[in-house]
């Protein structure tokens, strides 16, 4: 018996599967192209059909079924990427993965013909010389095929290689010690780069967050940085937008020992509420990574850390915060991470922390 609902009908068949149908804009009754194992799947199909009608892109399901029978992965992936609500830099990264790693293997393949064996063979051909890119490519392929399942184009996702979406970190991050950080800052050529280095390390800010900071984002009286925007460069274009994730929209307290340097710098170098803290040489444009690297590379060499990347300073900031006893939730808030897994990647046991714990344990005995 069909259950009464706001849009469409779901009928449980003698086979215990479910049939979904609805009356379309053409006043005709339309059945789903196949039955469903669960009521939830049938409801999801009706929801998708209703969205197509609302968007004005609806066509009878039977016509669409004929069209999608031979739809290639390349066509579907292109439409998938165009419709995806993602950040410009992520879109550029996905486009690169598709063009260089995924489409060469699947572009002309009809979606319905892609098998688990073909996916495994493709994954093997990628090799293991670039494990992170390989993992990203597999995750993207799987995500696209998952949506193809949801769209009713394929019955099941053929991409199910266990662990293929994860990659071991090739670059083992070694945070800078306080001594190394001191030499690094001192080797930077001027106040702009020195303060930028200090905020990257002690406040854990990303490069794109630092280079979009403006005078109005700094509460010098209370020692707080309001992180509200970030800048990225993709396909030769400079784009200012919201932080990487919702959690990136945050307030970061400046360690008190840095406040005098911050206040002095603001007075001497930043004009107006909208003035950039760390602009390019012209004073108004965003600082390019290449400009930073020209001074950072010689400085890290003087610090005895030619392996140190700029982003590793953010990692250093996480370790310094962890050494104070900050909880995982507190680290997530300070770094702007939305998941514990992201923050955990930055956690290390700070040198000397275990000795401090042992000392405090002894203090418990002394008190009693």
Active site residues: 206, 311, 314, 337, 346
Beta strands in the chain (DSSP E): 2-3, 9-12, 18-23, 29-31, 218-219, 224-227, 230-234, 237-241, 250-253
Record the tokens describing residue 106, joined without a space: 């699947």
Those residues whose C-beta lies under 8 Å from the C-beta of residue 336, and which sit 6 or more positions away, are 206, 227, 243, 244, 245, 247, 248, 249, 250
- State the CB neighbour count (10 A cutoff) for residue 266: 16
**How far is it between the farthest Cα atoms of the chain?**
84
Task: Give long-range contacts, CB 8 A cutoff, 24+ apart: 137-144.
Answer: 137/97, 137/101, 137/102, 138/164, 138/165, 139/164, 139/165, 140/94, 140/97, 140/98, 140/102, 141/102, 141/106, 144/73, 144/76, 144/77, 144/80
Look at the block and give the residue holding tokens 């099941």: 156
Cα–Cα dist 98/363, whole Å: 59
- For CA atoms 111, 116, 118, 122, the dihedral sign is positive
For β-strands 230-234 and 224-227, DSSP reports them as unpaired
Cα–Cα dist 112/158, whole Å: 10
- For CA atoms 85, 90, 94, 96, the dihedral sign is positive
Q: Give one DSSP letter per residue of 213-252, joined into a string.
A: -BGGGEETTTTEEEE--EEEEETTEEEEES-SSGGGSEEE
């Amino acid at each position: 018996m069909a259950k009464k609902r706001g849009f469409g009908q779901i009928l449980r068949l003698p086979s215990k599967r479910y049939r979904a149908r609805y009356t379309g804009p053409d006043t005709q009754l339309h059945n789903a192209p196949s039955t469903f194992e669960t009521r939830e799947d049938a409801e999801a199909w009706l929801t998708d059909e209703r969205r197509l009608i609302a968007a004005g892109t609806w066509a009878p399901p039977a016509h669409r079924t004929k069209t999608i029978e031979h739809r290639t992965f390349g066509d579907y992936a292109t439409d998938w990427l165009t419709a995806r609500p993602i950040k410009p830099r992520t879109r550029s990264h996905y486009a690169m993965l598709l063009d260089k790693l995924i489409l060469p293997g699947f572009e002309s393949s009809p979606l319905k013909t892609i098998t688990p064996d073909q996916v495994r063979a493709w994954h093997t051909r990628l090799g293991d010389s670039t494990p992170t890119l390989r993992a990203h490519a597999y995750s993207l392929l799987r995500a696209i095929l998952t949506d193809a399942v949801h769209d009713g184009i394929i019955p099941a996702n053929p991409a199910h290689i266990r662990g293929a979406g994860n990659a071991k970190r090739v670059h083992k991050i070694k945070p800078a010690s306080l001594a190394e950080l001191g030499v690094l800052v001192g080797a930077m050529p001027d106040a702009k780069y020195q303060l930028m280095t200090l905020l990257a390390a002690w406040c854990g800010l990303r490069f794109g967050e630092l280079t979009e900071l403006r005078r109005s984002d700094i509460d010098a009286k209370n020692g707080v940085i309001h992180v509200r925007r970030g800048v990225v460069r993709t396909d030769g274009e400079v784009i200012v937008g919201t932080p990487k994730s919702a959690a990136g929209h945050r307030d970061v307290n400046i360690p008190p020992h840095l406040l005098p340097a911050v206040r002095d710098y603001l007075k001497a170098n930043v004009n107006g509420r909208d003035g950039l803290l760390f602009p390019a040489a012209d004073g108004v444009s965003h600082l390019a990574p290449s400009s930073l690297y020209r001074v950072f590379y010689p400085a890290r060499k003087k610090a005895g850390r030619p392996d140190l990347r700029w982003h590793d300073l953010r990692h250093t900031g996480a370790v310094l915060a962890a050494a104070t006893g900050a909880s995982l939730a507190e680290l997530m808030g300070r770094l702007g991470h939305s998941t514990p897994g992201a923050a955990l990647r930055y956690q290390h046991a700070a040198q000397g922390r275990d000795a401090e714990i042992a000392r405090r344990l002894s203090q418990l005995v002394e008190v009693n």
